[in-house]
Structure formats: structure tokens, C-alpha cells
Structure 1
Amino acid sequence: MPEARAGGGMPGLAWSGISDKASYYRLFAGYVVALVATGIATVALALVAFDLAGEESGAVIGTALSLKMLAYVLAAPVVAILTSGIPRRRLLIALDLLRAGCLLLLPFVSEVWQIHALVFVFALASATFTFVYLAVVPYLLGNEADYYRSLSRSRVAAELEGPISPLLAGLLMVVLSVAGIFTLAAAGFVLSALLVRAARLPRTLAAPPGGIWRRLTRGPRLFVAVPAFRAIIAMDVVAALGTAMVMVNTVVIIQGVLDREIGSTASAFAFLGAGSILGALVLPLVLLRIRDRDVMLAGALIVVASLASGGLGFGIAGLLLRWVAIGFGVVWTVTPATYVIRRLARPSDLQVMMAAQMTLAHVCLLIAYPIAGFLSAWASIPATFLILAALSGLATLAMIRLWPRDVAPDV
């Protein structure tokens, strides 16, 4: 039973067999430089918040990060519509320069609201850059294997940014002031803009018909209409619940339940990152041999099993292994979604579909984070593991029902 194509039955972007690898690598290098600069700036932001708010700086940072998430959730689809007429290279360069400008202003803020405003603009530019990048890459890589490898590279880069950026920021603090760190991070975005400028990127595609509201809701409507895309939403739920358990409750488990030092907390996050990197490295080879639907299902089952095992009790060694497994499983659960969208979406809808997927994934995280936090506060940690495992299991069953094994979207 063939799957319906997203966007009115038109075929997705075909494999041309021709790749512009030079442009792709320049664009990817710009993406990586921007990732590292963002991580360094996030650490420096904590210093600015402390100077302004002192002991209440945690609330300032928490609010700023919430605004960042809201920028991804609420603004990404809107910006996808409003920028559809701008050439891709010009848009990406403008977004890099906008982010650089925000960082150069941050050392001079004198009010908390100014931090929040700059962080929101910065996050909006970052969200837009990310989904434009994801939408452009398929046009630069006309070979299936090359595209698989690009997905792996992007995931590895995102995972390595977590541990590398704080390390670089710590080293920079020894020799630079806060203003100097922001200036260096801003220079990173200028370098990213130069790398983008050196790449040959496709110009904008024709916008889909209809008014602003119809175009704004097109991505979500297509996700609801196509069973494979609804299955992707279910996978986003699984990934969000696994990620939320780790990000929200690692400190509670290690320093509260297990009574370990902060070094063990750092190790736990490192093990999560190691699992994610391992999953990303082997994913391209697996996707060439196994259907993306089956790979996503395997990743979801790994997350469900890892969460369920937490209800049986744990020590530090078991927790670290569990975090490795969750990191591995989350990568397999969500990364192939980009490939599915690339195959099923019409070329003119590709950017909107990428934006819709990013928005839905962040919505799932916005919901999963408080669930994981409230459960650990109101119930025991083992009960939290089991409840999140049950919710993840239900989402996995929904994926199986929405995307049966005999359905082949690429037919």
C-alpha cells in the first residue's frame, strides 16, 4: 500500500545523482562554527545575568532559555513564510550577522528585559538558520548515501557542541573579559557568514498558493494528513520524554538520590552525549540497509526499555549505561525523520515541512520537560521512570499503528 505524498500527490525531491559537495561542506562548516559560537555565548550569558541579578540570575537564565524555546516553537513557521521570497544565501548571511549583532550588544545591557529581548531575537535567528539549512542541504546532495552522511554529521556536530563549547568558554574566561568572549563569539558568526557566502545555494522556490494563514498552517496540516508524518510526531514524543528525563532529573538522581559529587553529574551528561554520537556515527550505514521506519521504531524501543529499566532500581554504573542507551535511541528515533520529509514533501514545501517538524519537536519538549519535573517532585524517581516509559510505549504503539510495516512511503 503506497503512502500518499505530502503536498497534493506530487513526488518528493528526486535523487539527481549530482552533488555540489564543495558548497555543502562550506555550508556545513558555517553551521558548525555557528553552533560553537552559540554554545560559548550561552556560557557567557550566565556571567552577564549574574552581574545584573546576582543570586536571582538562575531565574533570569531560566526565563531566557524559555524564551529561546518559544522562539523556536512560535516563530519558526511564521518566519518560514515571511522569508520564502528571499534568496537562501542572502537570508543565511543576514541571520548570521543578526546573531553577531545581538552578541555585541549583550555586554552593554543594563536591564534584565534587555537580556530577554536580545536572547529572543538571537533564538529566532538561530531557529530560522537551522531550518533553512536543513531545507537547503537536500538540493546540494543528489546522492542518497551522501545525504545520509550529512544527517549524521549534523547530529554529531550538535552533540559535540554540548561538551566542547563550555570547555572553550572556560578556557577563554582565563584570558578574556565577558565582552571579549561575546566579541569572539560574534566573530564566529561573521566567519559563518563568509563560509555561506562562498557556497552556491539554490535560490528561493515558488511559494505555495493561498493566503498567509493557509501557508502558515500548511506544514502542520500536512503532518496531520499524512500517516507517516503523524508517526514522526509520535517519535518526537518518545524522544522528548527520554531527553526530558535526562535533562531534568540527572542532578536530582545523582546528587540527591545517589548522593554523588558534581563530577558524576558531568560524567552522566558526557555519557548521554557519547551515546548520541555513537548512534549518529552508525546511523548512515544502518539506513542504507534497513528502512527508516524500522530504524526509528528500534530507536523508540531502546528509549522505552531504558526508561522502564529505571523503575527496577539503579546505581551509578547502571544509570550511566542507561543514559548512553537513551542518547543512542533518541538519535535513531528522530534523525531519520528528516530523510522521510525530504522524500515525501514537494520541493516547494520542503522548507515549510522542515520548519513544521522542528516546531513540533520543540512543542513535545516544552510539554515533556514539566512532566518529567513534576513527576520527580510528586512521586519517586523509579515511579517517574515507569510513567515516562509507559507514555513512551503508548507513543510507540501509535507510531506502529500510523505507519504499518507494509506501508512503503518511497514507492
Structure 2
Amino acid sequence: MRLFAIRDYRYLFGAQIIALFGTGLTTVALGLLAYDLAGPRAGMVLGTALTIKMVMYVVIAPLAAAYVDRLPRRTFLVLLDVVRAAVVLALPLVSEVWHIYVLIGLLQAGSAAFTPTFQAVIPDIVTDQSDYTRALSASQVAYTMESLLSPVLAAVALAFISFNWLFLGTSAGFLLSALLVLKTRIPNARPSAHTQAWDKAAAGIRAFLRTPRLRGIMALNLVVAAAGSIVVVNTVNYVRDELGGSQSGVAWMLAASGGGTLLAALVLPRVLDRITARTVMTTGAGVLVGGTIAAVALLAAGLTTWTGTAIVWTVIGIGMALIVTPTGNVLRASVRPNALPEVFAAQFSLSHLAWLITYPIAGWLGTNSGFALAWSVLAALAGAGAVGALLLWPRHDGRRAVTEPTAEPVTPGRPAPRTDRSSLSKAA
């Protein structure tokens, strides 16, 4: 594959995969740690921890994007990996719930700065449009492989060791990721179209507000978060308390959702060659709305079985992939190259803002009022997001979409930069 012939991308992709698997192990272990410390109230503890994570992402990611072109990006990425490795190593030592909150805040502050910087590096290393499209797909496949295999690996490991040892694997993953980043030749960031840090932080948000298809993506972010919160936050208590499962059972149920995501992600590259991203993504919204309604129906009918739950979790995984996989191409088609870091950071923050809304509903409402009420509220939010996407993202959106605040300045005497209209049409 020509993409992996690019040495620097190969190392950077390897760093991403290793860090992702470390993060995946942490996600499983964190849920089990919360159950160990809080028992039936583990959902509330996990919901609070993940809410702290989302606050860090929403606040720090745009600031990181604003300052990233002033920093040596390779050194910055390595430093963030090392910090995360140290924080994760401390998680098995906690004895109080508030210790989890403090460490998660530190860990996710590092992740919030790492992700937009990492995303901004890829187009500087993979400059060909078709290769960049494949890089986006490969990145999504990496995410989905982690969603599938991390819980499976955790399930196997938990048959032999305590979940605390999973944190050690995460820490090692971050350190290995740092070594691979050190071997990558990362070019200096291209100067942004904005000179003031706060202008740069706000530029991506303005692009979303002024571009119809990006407004549609904001609505779709809510759909993904509403359905995904059921899986991420409630699986631990649902499997342990409702289904009477073990620690390994939690991991296998998470793997069911990851399997659905992987299946869809592997098929989508061919589908997107023939069907517009809007059609695929709004279809995914419909799948997620259906999945959340099915989850509520299972509870209402008293059909809390392993098979029924696994089917619903798989459907949710499929729907999430249908929305998340094409998002990078839509963002790239909507702005010019020097605005990509800001727009990627804006999507990072806006998508996690949606999770910031839904995590407390799944965790706090689910713990205090029961899964049925919490999941009904999340299903309603998913439905509202799906309708919003259909209304905000015009069916025929082939016109020029680059907004003035993110446009590349034109030097007198030079022709204006051209917009790739074919990619705009495909994104529509």
C-alpha cells in the first residue's frame, strides 16, 4: 500500500495504534476500578470521571490548536505521551474516588492537547489527496480495531490477572508511542491565517457555524454521544448488576459494540466511493436512534438477556462508524489547508461537548433514576440530533464551502488558491 510506504506516516500511525490500545485498556480498567470502589454507584463515578474528561477536551483542545504552530510539535507530542504514561501508572494506587477524578483530569488534559496536534500533523506528512483520504480511513480503522480488540484483550487478561495490571499496559503503550514519535520527521507547522491565539481558537468554531454541512456534523455529534454514552458509561453496571456477569463479561459486551464499528468501518471506504457522505452519515444517525430505542424497549419488556444486549450494542457500534468515519473528509473538503488544524480542533471540542451533555445523563440519571429513564432521555436527544442534521445539512450541498474567516490570504500578483470542487461534491 503506497500510504504505508511513507516512512514518517508509518511511524506516526504505529504510535497512534499503540497509544490507542493503551487507552482502550484504561477505559476497561477504569470502569472496573470504579465498580471496585463504588459498587452499584459505579455508573455515577464513571460518568463523573468521563465528564471531567470532556471538560478538558472542550477547553484545552482549541487552545492547543491555537498555539501548536508556535511549538516544536514532535517534542510536544513526546512530552504529552510521557506525562500520560506517568499519570496512568498512578491510577492503580488510588484508594478514594476523588483520586480518580484528579488523575483523570491530568490524564485527559494531556490527551486533549495531543489529539489535535496529532491530527494536524497528518496532512503535513501525507500531502497527496487520495493518500490523505486513505490515511483518514486507516486512522478510523485503528480506532475501531482498538474498540474491538482492547476489550477482547482485556477479557483474556482478566482471566489471569487483576484489572490493576491493565493500567501498567497503558503506561507502557504511551512510552512506546513516544519512542515512535521521536523517530518521525515532523515538519514545522504552517503559519496560520490568524495571528492571535484566541482568534485561532475561535476560527474553527466560526467555520462550523457558517458552513451548512459542518452545522449538520454538529447535530450528528449529539447523535453519536447520546447512543455511545449508553455503551461507555452503563455497560459495567448493566452487565454486573442486571445480567449478573463478571469482569470479563463487561469486556466482551464492549467488544460487541466494537465489532459492529469494525464491520462498518471496513465496508465504508468502498461505499463512500458511490454514495455521498451526507447519505451515509444521516443513515448512521437513523441506525443510532433505532439502537437507543431498542435498548429502551428491551428494558421495558424485561428482556435483559445477553443476546439481546449484544445485538443492540453491535447496532450502536455500526451506527457510530457510519457517522464518524466520513467526518475527516467532510472537514477537509470544507476549509483550506492552513485552516485544517483549527477546524479539526473545533470538531474535537464540539464532539466532546456533546459527550459532556450525555455522559452525566447516562451516569448520574442512570444511577439515581434507573436505566429506563436515562436511556429514554438519550434516545430523545439522539432523535433531536438526527432531525437537526437533516435540516441543517442541505441535501444538495455542492457549492463552495470555504468560509472567509478561514480562507488562505491571497498575495497580490498571485492567483487565488483553488478549491477542490470534486471533494466538496463528494463530501456533500
Q: TM-score, with normalisation over the residues of structure 2?
A: 0.77
| Aligned partner (choices 348, 353, 362) of residue 358 of structure 1 | 348
Secondary structure class of the residue paired with 2:69: coil
Residue 157 in structure 1 maps to residue 145 in structure 2: yes
Question: Cα 1:197–1:168, aligned 2, differ >3 Å: closer, same or farther?
Answer: farther
* Contact 1:36–1:165 under 8 Å retained in 2: no
* Contact 2:87–2:106 under 8 Å retained in 1: yes
* Contact 2:65–2:345 under 8 Å retained in 1: yes
Distance apart, 1:312 and its partner CA: 4.6
Give 1:370's aligned amino acid: P
> Matched residues in 2 for 1:134 and 1:57: separation?
36
* Contact 2:192–2:338 under 8 Å retained in 1: yes
Residue 191 in structure 1 maps to residue 181 in structure 2: no
> Matched residues in 2 for 1:277 and 1:18: separation?
20
Give 1:32's aligned amino acid: I
| Structure 2 segments unaligned to the other structure (5+ residues) | 402-423
Residue 400 in structure 1 maps to residue 390 in structure 2: yes
> Matched residues in 2 for 1:372 and 1:122: separation?
22
| Aligned partner (choices 117, 135, 154) of residue 147 of structure 1 | 135
Residue 26 in structure 1 maps to residue 11 in structure 2: yes
Corresponding position of 1:219: 204
> Matched residues in 2 for 1:56 and 1:379: separation?
11
Distance apart, 1:86 and its partner CA: 1.5
Count of aligned pairs:
389
Secondary structure class of the residue paired with 2:217: helix
Show the 5 A alignment for 1:6-405. Answer: 21-41=6-26, 63-103=48-88, 116-141=101-126, 142-144=128-130, 145-160=133-148, 162-164=150-152, 166-167=154-155, 170=158, 173=161, 185-250=170-235, 260-262=244-246, 266-310=251-295, 312-313=297-298, 315=303, 316=305, 317-372=307-362, 374=365, 378=369, 381=372, 387-405=377-395
Per-residue CA shift, 1:237-263, capped at 9, x if unaligned? 111111123334446666666x55447
The farther-off stretch of 362-371 and 17-26 is: 17-26
- Give the percent of matched residue pairs that are identical in Structure 1 and Structure 2: 35
Distance apart, 1:219 and its partner CA: 1.7
Give 1:89's aligned amino acid: R
> Matched residues in 1 for 2:157 and 2:379: separation?
36
Per-residue CA shift, 1:339-391, capped at 9, x if unaligned? 1112222222211211111111111112123334537854773x665554443
> Matched residues in 2 for 1:319 and 1:112: separation?
29
> Matched residues in 2 for 1:231 and 1:45: separation?
33
Secondary structure class of the residue paired with 2:62: helix
Give 1:163's aligned amino acid: P
Per-residue CA shift, 1:31-75, capped at 9, x if unaligned? 111122334456667899899x79899577665443323211221
Give 2:144's aligned amino acid: V
* Contact 1:148–1:287 under 8 Å retained in 2: no
Per-residue CA shift, 1:181-234, capped at 9, x if unaligned? 766643432321221122232321203324333222222222111111110011
Q: TM-score, with normalisation over the residues of structure 1?
A: 0.80
> Matched residues in 1 for 2:388 and 2:141: separation?
29
The farther-off stretch of 288-297 and 114-123 is: 114-123
* Contact 1:235–1:396 under 8 Å retained in 2: yes
* Contact 2:154–2:166 under 8 Å retained in 1: no
Secondary structure class of the residue paired with 1:298: helix
CA RMSD across the alignment: 3.7
Distance apart, 1:138 and its partner CA: 2.8
* Contact 2:151–2:251 under 8 Å retained in 1: no
* Contact 1:155–1:280 under 8 Å retained in 2: no
Distance apart, 1:115 and its partner CA: 5.5
